[in-house]
Amino acid sequence: MKIIVTGGSGFIGSAVIRRALALNHSVLNLDCMTYAASKKTNKNLEDKPTYKFENINICEKNDVTAVFYQYKPDAVIHLAAESHVDRSIDGPKAFLSTNVIGTYNLLEASRDYLKIDSSNNNFRFLHVSTDEVYGSLSETGQFTEESAYSPNSPYSATKASSDHLVNAWHKTFNLPTITTNCSNNYGPYQFPEKMIPSAILNAINGGPILIYGTGENVRDWLYVEDHAEALLQILNKSAVGERFNIGGNNEISNNNLITKICEKLDEKIPKSTSYKSQIKYVEDRPGHDLRYAINNTKIKNKIGWRPSLSFDRGLDLTIEWYLKNTEWWEDLYKNKIFIERQGIIR
């Protein structure tokens, strides 16, 4: 299968590419290499004949359309997005451009391409979204595919908008789309501003390990390689028009997560005092959702996928990767770009 992966130099996109190539698919990576993408991430793929890269911004419709005609894909896995909630609060315009207009351009390029290549009956447009579109849960309950949308941040609002566009292009134009909504991802190659790598890198570099508000916010964590496997299975097995929630079944509060990271670092690279002494509570994020939790029943029953790693094992692998791969993150971390709300140096 020939697959276009948008955002393939980013965290989740690169994991999808690695898995797709392992399954003997051919991949074209479309990425405009913004701050969150690194050339180092896919460097070991550059010599593979089944891997190609195009530096293209999905907000440029003509460029996107041209790529479809040239590459003639069997599928699109759309991951390119502005994805950090803090950045969406500070500058929402970029999120509207990429997450909404960019998705529109890809949908239209797919539609135009299928008008010319009408024989491609197996074409699929797999749109990858987030559980944040559902809003916030109380202390009980889970998100299902039937949960109402209630986004609370500029980021989640733009992702919800893109989800609705994808559904509309399927219903109105019969575009063969599939949508997924995932929980929080973690693992190797994640940009340092995100919560888990931020905690690891700030800890080992002697900085503050920041926690918003009271730290009681709960997230469900999904190992990125498990997510990539789920997406490839959905692409292969799902009917068009379907929607799947993808979660890791690993609910944990921010307090307990940061404590767990510190305890693991105390074991792996001990110092005179516990890394817990670096924890610092800061003013809460505006509109901070209390809790996310994914119900995985549909994907388990219809696709046969379930997470392969426990959270404890996945967190060990993640910490060990950052400890061993300083050459990947050190330049990002030393750029001295400071996000005041998070206290992250990256």
Give the model confidence (pLDDT) of 25-35 as tens digits: 999 999 999 88
Write down the pLDDT at residue 337: 47
Q: What is the mean pLDDT of residues 268-285?
A: 96
Q: What is the Cα–Cα distance from 64 to 288, expressed in whole angstroms? A: 35
Q: What is the Cα–Cα distance from 198 to 200, expressed in whole angstroms? A: 6
Q: Name residue, tokens 């750029």.
A: 335
* Residue 118 clears pLDDT 60, i.e. is over it: yes
Q: Is 113 a catalytic residue?
A: no
Catalytic: which of 132, 163, 220, 229?
132
* 8 Å CB contact between 6 and 58: yes
Fold assignment, 2-187+222-249+288-309? Rossmann fold (3.40.50)
* Residue 88 clears pLDDT 80, i.e. is over it: yes
* Residue 338 clears pLDDT 90, i.e. is over it: no
Write down the pLDDT at residue 339: 47
Residues of 15-30 as b/e, b for ≥16 C-beta within 10 angstroms?
bbbbbbbeeebbbbbb
Q: What is the Cα–Cα distance from 54 to 99, expressed in whole angstroms? A: 19
Could you give the angle at the alpha carbon of 87 between the alpha carbons of 83 and 90, nearest 5°? 150
Average pLDDT, the chain: 94
Write down the pLDDT at residue 265: 98
Q: Is 46 a catalytic residue?
A: no
pLDDT interval class at 327 (50, 70, 90): very high
Q: What is the mean pLDDT of residues 150-175?
A: 97
Parallel, antiparallel, or unpaired: how do β-strands 218-223 and 251-253 relate? antiparallel
**Dihedral (Cα; 306, 136, 287, 159), 10-degree rounding:** 50
- Report helix angle 326-333 to 311-324, nearest 10: 80
Could you give the angle at the alpha carbon of 234 between the alpha carbons of 27 and 21, nearest 5°? 25
pLDDT interval class at 346 (50, 70, 90): very low
Catalytic: which of 131, 220, 225, 229?
131
- What pTM was computed for the model? 0.95
Q: Where are the domains of the chain?
A: 2-187+222-249+288-309
Q: Using one digit for the tens of pLDDT, what is the confidence trace for 223-235?
A: 999 999 999 999 9
* Residue, of 35 and 12, whose pLDDT is higher: 12
E-strand spans in the chain? 2-6, 26-30, 51-54, 75-78, 124-130, 177-182, 184-186, 209-212, 218-223, 243-246, 251-253, 279-282, 338-339, 344-345
Q: Which of 328, 44, 88 is nearest to 200 (CA)?
A: 328
In DSSP terms, 282 is beta-bridged to 212
Q: Using one digit for the tens of pLDDT, what is the confidence trace for 171-188?
A: 999 999 999 999 999 999
Q: Is 146 a catalytic residue?
A: no
Catalytic: which of 51, 134, 155, 292?
155
The CA distances from residue 12 to 78, 81, 271, in Å, are 11, 11, 33
Share of the chain above pLDDT 90, in %: 88
* 8 Å CB contact between 218 and 195: no
* Residue, of 218 and 38, whose pLDDT is higher: 218
Handedness of CA 60, 18, 316, 272 (dihedral sign): negative
Cα 93–chain centre separation: 20
